[in-house]
Structure 1
Amino acid sequence: MTTILAAALASPAAAETIRIASFDPELTRKGPGLLLRDIQSGKDNQVLAVAMVIAKVNPDVLLLTGFDWDHDRAALRAFTQLMARSGVDYPYLLAPQTNRGMASGADLDNDGRLAEADDSQGWGSFTGQNGMAILSRIPLGNVVDYSEGLWRDMPGNLIGDALSPEAKTVQRLSTSGHWDVELLTDPPLHVLAFAATAPVFDGPEDRNGRRNHDEIAFWQTHLPNAPFVIAGNANLDPVDGDGRHEAIRNLIENKRISDARPASAGGAAAADAGQSGDPALDTADWPDDGPGNLRVTYLLPSRALRVTGSGVVWPTDEEPLYQAAAVASPHKLVWIDVEIAD
C-alpha cells in the first residue's frame, strides 16, 4: 500500500489534451446587423450548417476567421446561444474590432477615390465585416493585439512600391488582426490568431500578394517563449494557386514549429487536375475555374506540444455531414488535439 502510494505520488501529472479548431465559415453579410438577423431567425441554412459542423468537432477553442463584428458582440453572442442549444458551450469570447472595414482616411488603392471598401485598413464595406473571433471553454489570460502595427514598420517587409508615400504612413500590416491569446492551461498555451488578405484582386504592383506574404512572415519574429499554436486563414497554399508560396513554406519549416498535416478523405476525393500539392490537406473547395482546391487554413503547433489527433472536416459524398459542410462554407474546419504537459 505504501509502495503503491509513493509510486503514484512520484508519477507525472496526466497531460491535458486540448482540441483547437480554425474555421472560416464566411458568416458575413452585405450590411451591419444582417448576420444577427439571420442567426436569430433560426431558419438560415448556412448558419445552421456552420453550427452542425462545429458541433460535430466540438473543439475546446475555436477561431472563426470570417464572422461579422459588431460593437455589442450581439451576433457572436446569438451564435454561441445557438451552439449552446446543441450542447456546445463557449463561456469565454474574444472579439475585438478588427481592421476589416476600418476607415484609413487615405486612398490606399490609388484609384483617386476615398472611403471605398478598398481604402479600409482591411477590405470591408462596413466596420467589422468578415472579422475574427475566438470562442473558448478555457479561460483566457493576457491578449496582445498587434493589429495596429504599420506595414512599413515590419522589418524586412516587401511593401516596395505597392503603396503611395501617403498610403504607407497609415496602412496597417494586418488585414484582420494578429493576436497572441493566452489560454489559462497549465502551463499556459498561446493561440497566435490571424487572417491574411487573399494574394489576388490587385494589379501589377502586387499589393495584396506582398501584404499576404508579410502577414504570414510576421509570426517568424513573434513566437512566444511558451507552447503555442498558430491558427488562422493564411489564404496561401504552399505550392498551388496564386501568391508568394515561400511565405507559408518558410513558416511551416520554422525549427520551432511542427506541421501535423490535418487531412480529409473528402479533399483527397475532390483533387483538381494538375494539382501539385497533396489534395487530402486542402481546406477550401473553390470552383475549378477559379482558385480551385487549396490548403489555406492552418493550425501549426510548437514542437513543445504533442499532437494526438488532427483532421479537416471535408466529408466524402457518402458521409452524413457532407451536405452540411458543403452548405456551410467553401472553407473547411481544421482541428488538432494537442497534449500540454510540463
Structure 2
Amino acid sequence: MKRTCAITTAALTTLTATAVPAHAGGGREVRFATFNASLNRSTEGALVKDLSTPSNTQAAAVAEIIQRSRPDVLLINEFDYDAAGKAARLFQDNYLSVGRNGASPINYRYRYTAPSNTGIPSGHDLNNDGTVATTPGTDAYGQDSYGYGLFPGQYGMVVYSRHPIDFRNIRTFQNFRWADMPGAVLPENYYSAAELKSLRLSSKSHWDVPVKVNGKRVHFLVSHPTPPSFDGTEDRNGRRNHDEIRLWADYVQPSKSRYIYDDNHRRGGLTPNARFVIAGDQNADPHDGDSYAGAIHQLLRNPRINAKHAPSSEGAPEASALQGGANTTHKGNPKHDTADFADTTPGNLRVDYVLPSKNLRPTAGGVFWPTKTDPLYRLTGSYPFPTSDHRLVWLTTRP
C-alpha cells in the first residue's frame, strides 16, 4: 500500500493506499526512503545470479514497490555486497528500469555500495562456544564474524540516488571499534581484552553519503544495527544495537562526536548547521520489542533531529488486529509499524526510520503497507511474507 500522509505542523494525515502523492523528482522537494528488502541469499554470488535475469519474483516485487513509492534517495538494507557492484547494477538494469504492472520505471543515475562487516571473520570466539569458526556457510562462522553473515557481504547495503552523490566526501565507519566509544554499554565480563581490541561496533557499516540537492548538501546517514536478540543473558546484541544507534546520535551533535573516527582516520562528526537524514532498519521500536535501554529514543529525542512526524499506514493496524498474538499486548500505536514479524514474538514493530535534521522541513511521509482490499496487497501480503518482512518507509522534505 502506499499510505500517504499530508503533514501539518502537528501530525500526518493518512490518505488512501493508492493515493500516494505524485512525485516525479527533480523539484524542490526530495523523497528519502529506506527499505529492508530482504535481497539477501544464503550463498555468495547467488544474488548476482538471481538479478542477472529479469524474472526473479521477489526482486520484481521489490522493484515495483520502489517504482510506486518513487523515492529520490533510497537505502536498501539486506542487499548482498559484491566487490564489483554487479548486484547493484543488475537490480537497476533488470528491475528498476523495467516498468512493472503499470508502474513506471525509475532510474537512479548514482549509486553507492561498500564492504560490510557481515561474514568477515574476526579470528575470535565471539559467541563463547569454545571454538573459533573459520568455515564460511555455517551458523558458527556467522556468530564469530564481526557481523553475522554466512559469507562476507551477506546482508549488506546499497544507496541509490537521483541526485548527485558527492563520492569524494563519503565517510564510512566500518572499522570503528566498539570499545572506543566512551561509555559504551559493552556486556560485562563477556569479551576478552584481545577481542575488545578488534571488535568493531557496526554489525554492517555506517555510511555518511553526502547528496547534492538543489545546490545544498544533505548527509544521508545510513546503517543497519544488529537485532537486539539471538544472544544470551549478557544481551550482547541488544547492547550493540543500542550503541550502533548511538553512533549517529552522537555524530550529528558536534559536542559529542569528537571521539568518532572514520575509516580514513578523520575524526569528528557533522557541523552544527549540516543538513542530514538518518535512514535504515534500526531494529528498535520506541515502545515494544527487546531493545536495550530505549535505544531508539537516542534518535527520536535528539535535539538535532526532527522526529515529530512518524510515517504510518492503513495496512499496519489492520495486520496487527488480524494477526493478534503478541500484537495485542503492544503499547505502541500499530499504525506506525514498519515490520511484519512473527505473531508469537515479538509481533509487528516500528523499526525502520527516515529521520531528518531540524533544518529540513518534512512535507509528506508514509509506509508502503497496503490493506487486504488494496490491489497492491499482493506486493507485501502477510507473514510468512512473499517479498520482505519489512515495509518501505519514505519521507519527503524541502532542503
TM bucket normalised to smaller: over 0.9
Instruction: Give the equivalent residue in structure 2 for 1:267.
Output: 316
The answer on 1:279 being equivalent to 2:321 is no
Residues 90 and 218 (structure 1), Cα distance of their counterparts in 2 relative to 1, 3 Å cut: same
3-state SS in 1 of match to 2:48:
helix
Q: Could you give the per-residue CA deviations for residues 40-63 of structure 1, whole angstroms, max 9, x where no partner exists? A: 233322111111111110111110
Unaligned runs of 5+ in 2: 1-25, 100-104, 135-140, 253-269, 321-326
Instruction: Give the equivalent residue in structure 2 for 1:317.
Output: 372
Instruction: Give the equivalent residue in structure 2 for 1:123.
Output: 148
TM-score, normalised by the number of residues in structure 2: 0.80
Instruction: Give the equivalent residue in structure 2 for 1:328.
Output: 387
Number of residue-to-residue matches in the alignment = 327
Q: Any conservation in 2 of the 1:69–1:75 contact (CA below 8 Å)? A: yes
3-state SS in 1 of match to 2:88:
helix
Stretches (4+) displaced over 4 A: none
Instruction: Give the equivalent residue in structure 1 for 2:162.
Output: 137
Q: Any conservation in 2 of the 1:237–1:245 contact (CA below 8 Å)? A: no
The answer on 1:207 being equivalent to 2:214 is no
Q: Any conservation in 1 of the 2:245–2:298 contact (CA below 8 Å)? A: no
Q: Structure 1 residue 257: deviation in Å? A: 0.8
Deviates more, 1:35-44 or 1:249-258: 35-44
Among 186, 197, 205, the residue aligned to 1:159: 186
Q: Could you give the per-residue CA deviations for residues 115-147 of structure 1, whole angstroms, max 9, x where no partner exists? A: 211111110010100101101111111211112
The answer on 1:100 being equivalent to 2:118 is yes
3-state SS in 1 of match to 2:97:
helix
The answer on 1:85 being equivalent to 2:103 is no
Cα distance in 1 for partners of 2:61, 2:113 equals 22
TM-score, normalised by the number of residues in structure 1: 0.93
Residue identity matched to 1:270: A
Instruction: Give the equivalent residue in structure 2 for 1:189.
Output: 218
Q: Could you give the per-residue CA deviations for residues 214-238 of structure 1, whole angstroms, max 9, x where no partner exists? A: 0011112101231111101110101
3-state SS in 2 of match to 1:188:
strand
Q: Any conservation in 1 of the 2:187–2:236 contact (CA below 8 Å)? A: no
Instruction: Give the equivalent residue in structure 1 for 2:262.
Output: none
Cα distance in 1 for partners of 2:248, 2:380 equals 30
Residues 278 and 245 (structure 1), Cα distance of their counterparts in 2 relative to 1, 3 Å cut: farther
Compute the RMSD of aligned alpha carbons.
1.4
Unaligned runs of 5+ in 1: 1-13
Question: What's the % identity of the aligned pairs?
Answer: 42
Cα distance in 1 for partners of 2:182, 2:212 equals 31
Residue identity matched to 2:306: S
Cα distance in 2 for partners of 1:334, 1:312 equals 5
